Structure 1
Amino acid sequence: MLDAETKRRIDTARDILVGKVPDPKSQVEQITFALIYKFMDDIDAISEELGGERDYFTGEFTRYSWARLMQPGLGGHEMFNTYDEAIRRMPENGGLPPLFRDIFSNAYLPYRDPETLRAFLKVIDGFTYDHSERLGDAFEYLLSVMDSQGDAGQFRTPRHIIDFIVSIVDPKKDDVILDPACGTAGFLISSYKHILAANTDADGNSTLTPDERKRLARNLLGYDISPDMVRLSLVNMYLHGLVDPHIYEYDTLTSEERWNEFADVILANPPFMSPKGGIRPHNRFSVQSRRSEVLFVDYMAEHLNAGGRAGIIVPEGIIFQSQNAHKQLRKKLLEESLVAVVSLPAGVFNPYSGVKTSILLLDKALARRTDRIAFFKVESDGFDLGAQRRPIEQNDLLRVRREIIAYLQLLREGDAADSTQPASASFVAESRAEYVTEDSRQGNGLTIEKERVAENEEYSLSGERYRETQFFSSEYHMTQLGDICNLVRGVTYRKSDEVGERGLQVLRANNIDKDAHTLDLSEIKHVSRSLDFPDTKKLLKNDILICLASGSKVHIGKVALSLDDTEFYFGGFMGAVRANSSLVYPHYLYYQLRRAQFNSFLREQISGANINNLSAKLLYRFRIPLPPLGVQKEIVAEIEEYQKVIDGARAVIKNYRPRIHVDPEWPMVELGELCTLSSGQHINKEDYNTNGNGIGYLTGPADFGEPYAIVSKWTTRPKTIAKRGDILITVKGSGLGKVNLLREENVAISRQLMAVRVHDAVPEFVYSSLIQMYDHIQDLGSGAAIPGITREDVLRLPIPLPNSEVQHSIITEIEAEQALVHANRELIERFEKKIQDAIARVWGDVRG
């Protein structure tokens, strides 16, 4: 456990360095060099106290000893020169073991300030060498400052996730344990601790013999392509009591030198990303790919001994992407070694990456004994999923760990090998159940036949694809959509077929309002009338238009009901769900597809790389309760009464705009007389993120709310800063003229926006005036492709300016109106809930 004083010293050392060494990785290296330097001198001093001799600082290197470096009276420049020379010459010191010479390879001071060095070394002087767990924990805390170094898809794995995986894979004292992308050696150290803890007597004393300890240390192997990571992992293992660690600088994917070395246990969190152009591996991989995540998993599966086991963290693409290499890899795993998949929350690597990950559990011995794969889901790992990852009470790791271990034990005993029942009493298997609970106190495990996973040769390893998440007790028969409707896919055309107007009209994803579930016919694509589209691809009365493919999962499955026959065709990423009206009332089916449960069902199951696709087969698999037609129509009649109220409330919200009746006697002034204006600046895509790292970043009117902007992106490289109370005005693009208020303290803004900071009027009054000027600003816009207005245009906007009392009076009236409008939003929420309740009744006792 890291004690407060040690943590304080490390933080102080970093604070001293940060002005001269801003890069966290370089800070860690400088602290590492200094700690090892100090500890070598401590070991020499201990040896002398016990009657031995100095090993490290002898002969010509005696003058570099830490004690001499820190002696009172030594001048700043002399201290600097001595230390700088010492760390550069450490690899030449024959008294140092190879480990320490490797650590100091290419060491240097990246700054030239003697006073900074003196202050820094004074802090390091407070550390003392021992082999305690405290010192190892201190170094791991130091390594944690590098979490932001997420280049090339590498992120330090949280210790609680490492320990979770190690406890399940359960490495033994005689196992050869390998991490082929070891980073700072977290998996190897956790394995070492796990084995030590497993080999103690009732009094807590180790039962390992000296030979077993030596063999254990020899069997912990790590590879990393980065010499910096190798150096840090060597130090980390040394400070955890492994004085002769076996970590090698080695390119696992392109080198063949160690290809014929195998392991009993492999544990890893390999890099998720590939360099531009991909990896160029040798030809000994069984799966041909240039994707690093594919090659790493293939390498680990290939390099397990006959009864070998592995725990591997993988990105979402390994689980379901449809490229041939991904499918080939999953097929190999399914047939040879995979026993379980554990889904982790998407925020495990926050704030530095929101990438969704899973754990693959391989066991070559157990995989041969069962024809099923187990799936588990960790909803919470004991921390919230925000940028700060604050501890919370909910933690599924212990329960899921217990369930997995119980399942694996059943496989070893042979009780679960051929079972179609739940693999253990502690979790629910799919078996013959139509639906299984995902949030049950009995657990959330699911076992699926390998044969089903291999269906259509997709080999998807997403447990949600095989899991239906709602528990219900409906009195009506649960019917698959494939039995009551037909999906018609839309028309396809080339870019060159598009025309400006008067062509065939084609509906796309933007023609469905995602929130209102209605048709939005404001922007319709026109294509050449020479195209020969069949009439079956027109949107007909009672068709349910559905989005089948999109670059964003949030649009998949959104629906709108067509109340009439139309002349609109629907595009290739769209479809029409046509109900068999003798079995299901189309309006009833439409309301079922509006349910959040349908979208949840789709979100976890759609597959595809850059475009997410909803296949007919998947759509047809969704089940709904099917009462008699008369009951369906009664339910719809009730819902439509609620819908009328919602439609009316939406009309109020849509049509309301604050309006100021301008008295001709009021003076008119240019906006520039009332404010200062800040023009936004472009920030490169690689310099902003969605993980909460940095300050908020607004890119345009897509981030506007009612009436305040909503931050969904952040940047560590802000340029133009808007402040709380500023008015944001859109000056480029299709949202030209839209305005919003800012309540965040500081936010970066893009070049699509300008920030108006009012100083000689009531800001809310100016804001309302600008809303009223939307059409005027639109008319000012120039530029055929991207309309825009200049800074001068904004500064010249005419603003009516009554006295302050009148401004406040008008704003008071507008705020009263807005309160009534807000009440309509609450009305919508209440009646949407009534609609959901009406549908829920037919499902029975819904608990999902």
Structure 2
Amino acid sequence: MTTSDIVQKLWNLCDVLKDDGINYSDYVTELVLLLFIKMEHESTQSGLLQKHRLPDYGRWKELTSRSGLNLLTHYKSTLLQLSQSEDPLIAAIYADAQTSLKEPRHLEQLIKSLDAIDWFSAEQDGLGDLYEGLLEKNSTESKSGAGQYFTPRPLIDAIVEVIQPKAGETIQDPAAGTGGFLIAADRYIKQQTDELYDLDAKAQAFQRNRAFLGMELVTSTRRLALMNCLLHGMEGDDEGVVHLGNTLGSAGSALPKCDVSLSNPPFGTARGGGGPTRDDLTFATGNKQLAFLQHIVRHLKDGGRAAAVLPDNVLFEAGVGADVRRDLMDKCRLHTILRLPTGIFYAQGVKTNVLFFQKISQAATGSTDAVWVYDMRANAPKFGKRTPLLHKHFDEFKAAYGDDSNGRSLRVDQGEQGRWRCFSREWIAKEKGDSLDIAWLKDDSAEDAADLPEPAVLAREIVDELNGALGELESILGELGDE
């Protein structure tokens, strides 16, 4: 049985819960609460863990030894007690945890099904990859919006490969989701260090406990991330690798500076008082992506490097958007933009890019002399379930990017017919008015009306632009003294 076979088997268990009114997204959360208890049991039984993290009342044998109403009552009590554990990591994983199961027979069936799986038949991939496969399954097969926190693995891996995180560096994701970027960076470093065995004991401890840090706003998503990291051998500090908090609030301003920042900030414009509340950002804005971009720049160490997945509006929005881009190109050396194909995220038609840059200093000016753009969008396949995004689709981009993590390899402009071109900072200012929405290839597929985004997507883009314009007007009114 392969890892994907086990993932499919776990996914099929959701059918057990339909009678209890539980959908796919709720099922993953429900399964996570049980999976951690089960995997702790498997890990201690196999010797992977020398000490069981869970107290006696919260162990797997306490669930398998019960049935009926006694089982459901004990399980509910267990979740409550674990949420109040003195172990801060256990308390974080089970924070606000409660089961949605109403029928004892459904819980009993889930436990028996989990017990019947040969967890280590796919040992070469490990429990962590098995769990990550379940998260990916949820993001691609459910219509719950789960994809909004799941960045495709091939994209994450391509970004990590060109950024080249190193042992001893601090690596941060201010919008951690389920922890995909942090786990991929950890995997990359382990590949370069023989699973950390090339490092001394002090360096190994640093990698497990201090190298990685993420922040996530949603408790249930953070729960997924904490478990994901633990199953990949990433323990973090007392709060785990991923902390709970709002990056665009006071919690974010308290984050330390880092050597590497990797992130896919949430899309959309904050409304209803949900905007950034920080006062340390240079430009006030209700656009979450523009605020996240400012956070990333501010929290990079001098010389640090970053890759951020951002929607098109960040590249072309006027007003504050232009100010943020100029500030970015002053303080950082923005050296590469990857124009991603549409259809690879949960909202079909959303257009995104990856910005790669190196921080020079907070007080620097004129740090960007030229920007290289790789167009992976024009005349690209229509990615989706039938045409999944694969690692091989990034091979040409990685070759063009080169071996230097800061984009200083010898690069060759492929001209107007190629996907890889260089644009000077002077040209961007003069010809584009500091817009970074740079395209030159004729996209034949765009001429087909059937390939245009859905009306709802177009409407959302218009709403976001209007909200951005309203934010600009409010800022102007504020400067004029009109509350």
TM class, shorter-chain normalised? 0.7 to 0.9
Structure 2 residue aligned with 1:390? 387
2:359 and 2:2 map into 1 onto residues whose CA distance is: 38
1:212 and 1:86 map into 2 onto residues whose CA distance is: 37
Paired residues for 1:266-415 under 5 Å: 266-277=261-272, 279-322=275-318, 324-337=319-332, 338-350=334-346, 352-365=347-360, 371-379=369-377, 384-385=381-382, 387-391=384-388, 395-406=392-403, 411=408
Taking structure 2 as the reference length, the TM-score comes to 0.80
Paired residues for 1:833-844 under 5 Å: none
2:53 and 2:207 map into 1 onto residues whose CA distance is: 26
Structure 1 residue aligned with 2:136? 144
Task: Give the 3 Å change call, closer, same or farther, for CA 313–365 of structure 1 in structure 2.
Answer: same
Structure 2 residue aligned with 1:758? none
Contact kept? 1:384, 1:392, Cα under 8 Å: no
Q: Which residue, out of 195, 201, 207, partners 1:210?
A: 201
1:128 and 1:408 map into 2 onto residues whose CA distance is: 41
Structure 2 residue aligned with 1:742? none
Using the TM superposition, give the Cα deviation of residue 84 of structure 1 relative to its aligned residue in structure 2, in angstroms. Answer: 2.2
Contact kept? 1:347, 1:355, Cα under 8 Å: yes
Contact kept? 2:342, 2:382, Cα under 8 Å: yes
2:43 and 2:270 map into 1 onto residues whose CA distance is: 43
Q: Which residue, out of 98, 105, 110, partners 1:120?
A: 110
Paired residues for 1:295-694 under 5 Å: 295-322=291-318, 324-337=319-332, 338-350=334-346, 352-365=347-360, 371-379=369-377, 384-385=381-382, 387-391=384-388, 395-406=392-403, 411=408, 424-425=411-412, 427-428=413-414, 436-438=416-418, 444-455=419-430, 458-464=433-439, 467=440, 609=465
Using the TM superposition, give the Cα deviation of residue 209 of structure 1 relative to its aligned residue in structure 2, in angstroms. Answer: 2.2
Using the TM superposition, give the Cα deviation of residue 305 of structure 1 relative to its aligned residue in structure 2, in angstroms. Answer: 0.6
1:428 and 1:53 map into 2 onto residues whose CA distance is: 57
Structure 1 residue aligned with 2:172? 178
1:305 and 1:10 map into 2 onto residues whose CA distance is: 42
Using the TM superposition, give the Cα deviation of residue 386 of structure 1 relative to its aligned residue in structure 2, in angstroms. Answer: 5.1
Structure 2 residue aligned with 1:134? 126
1:354 and 1:319 map into 2 onto residues whose CA distance is: 17
Which protein has the larger Cα radius of gyration, Structure 1 or Structure 2?
Answer: 1
Contact kept? 1:314, 1:360, Cα under 8 Å: yes
Using the TM superposition, give the Cα deviation of residue 106 of structure 1 relative to its aligned residue in structure 2, in angstroms. Answer: 1.9
Structure 1 residue aligned with 2:474? none
Structure 1 residue aligned with 2:230? 238
Give the partner amino acid of 1:356: K
Matched, 1:67 2:33: no
Task: Give the 3 Å change call, closer, same or farther, for CA 387–222 of structure 1 in structure 2.
Answer: same
Task: Give the 3 Å change call, closer, same or farther, for CA 162–456 of structure 1 in structure 2.
Answer: same
2:249 and 2:147 map into 1 onto residues whose CA distance is: 18
Using the TM superposition, give the Cα deviation of residue 121 of structure 1 relative to its aligned residue in structure 2, in angstroms. Answer: 0.9
Using CA pairs below 8 Å that are at least 6 residues apart, which structure has the higher relative contact order?
2
2:171 and 2:16 map into 1 onto residues whose CA distance is: 39
Task: Give the 3 Å change call, closer, same or farther, for CA 327–153 of structure 1 in structure 2.
Answer: farther
1:232 and 1:299 map into 2 onto residues whose CA distance is: 24
Structure 2 residue aligned with 1:251? 246
Using the TM superposition, give the Cα deviation of residue 311 of structure 1 relative to its aligned residue in structure 2, in angstroms. Answer: 0.4
1:182 and 1:339 map into 2 onto residues whose CA distance is: 24
1:212 and 1:273 map into 2 onto residues whose CA distance is: 39
Q: Deviations over 1:583-603 (max 9, x none)?
A: xxxxxxxxxxxxxxxxxxxxx
1:280 and 1:391 map into 2 onto residues whose CA distance is: 35
Using the TM superposition, give the Cα deviation of residue 45 of structure 1 relative to its aligned residue in structure 2, in angstroms. Answer: 4.7
Matched, 1:158 2:152: yes
Contact kept? 1:41, 1:57, Cα under 8 Å: no
2:146 and 2:280 map into 1 onto residues whose CA distance is: 24
Contact kept? 1:2, 1:134, Cα under 8 Å: no
2:280 and 2:309 map into 1 onto residues whose CA distance is: 23
Contact kept? 2:372, 2:423, Cα under 8 Å: yes
Structure 2 residue aligned with 1:12? 12
Q: Which residue, out of 89, 109, 123, partners 2:99?
A: 109
Tell me the C-alpha RMSD between the 2 structures: 3.5
Task: Give the 3 Å change call, closer, same or farther, for CA 44–196 of structure 1 in structure 2.
Answer: closer
Contact kept? 1:153, 1:273, Cα under 8 Å: no
Task: Give the 3 Å change call, closer, same or farther, for CA 108–410 of structure 1 in structure 2.
Answer: closer
Gaps in structure 2 of 5+ consecutive residues? 449-454, 456-463, 467-483
SS class of match (2:372): strand
1:326 and 1:152 map into 2 onto residues whose CA distance is: 28
Paired residues for 1:752-763 under 5 Å: none
Using the TM superposition, give the Cα deviation of residue 180 of structure 1 relative to its aligned residue in structure 2, in angstroms. Answer: 0.3
Structure 1 residue aligned with 2:34? 34
Give the partner amino acid of 2:394: L
2:178 and 2:51 map into 1 onto residues whose CA distance is: 32
Q: Deviations over 1:228-286 (max 9, x none)?
A: 11111000001111134421111111225643621111000001112324614222111
Contact kept? 2:67, 2:104, Cα under 8 Å: no
1:307 and 1:223 map into 2 onto residues whose CA distance is: 22
Aligned residues: 437
Contact kept? 2:428, 2:436, Cα under 8 Å: yes
Give the partner amino acid of 1:177: I
SS class of match (2:13): helix
Structure 2 residue aligned with 1:626? none
Q: Deviations over 1:503-539 (max 9, x none)?
A: xxxxxxxxxxx99xxxxxxxxxxxxxxxxxxxxxxxx
2:51 and 2:178 map into 1 onto residues whose CA distance is: 32
Give the partner amino acid of 1:342: L
2:411 and 2:4 map into 1 onto residues whose CA distance is: 43
Taking structure 1 as the reference length, the TM-score comes to 0.47
Task: Give the 3 Å change call, closer, same or farther, for CA 360–150 of structure 1 in structure 2.
Answer: farther
Give the structure with the larger helix fraction: 2
Paired residues for 1:730-769 under 5 Å: none
Give the partner amino acid of 1:31: L
Task: Give the 3 Å change call, closer, same or farther, for CA 394–86 of structure 1 in structure 2.
Answer: closer
Task: Give the 3 Å change call, closer, same or farther, for CA 251–132 of structure 1 in structure 2.
Answer: farther
Percent pairwise identity: 24
Give the partner amino acid of 2:246: D
Give the partner amino acid of 2:260: V
Using the TM superposition, give the Cα deviation of residue 457 of structure 1 relative to its aligned residue in structure 2, in angstroms. Answer: 7.3
Give the partner amino acid of 2:95: S
Using the TM superposition, give the Cα deviation of residue 344 of structure 1 relative to its aligned residue in structure 2, in angstroms. Answer: 0.4
Task: Give the 3 Å change call, closer, same or farther, for CA 65–469 of structure 1 in structure 2.
Answer: closer
2:390 and 2:32 map into 1 onto residues whose CA distance is: 35
Contact kept? 1:152, 1:274, Cα under 8 Å: no
Q: Which residue, out of 219, 223, 234, partners 1:227?
A: 219
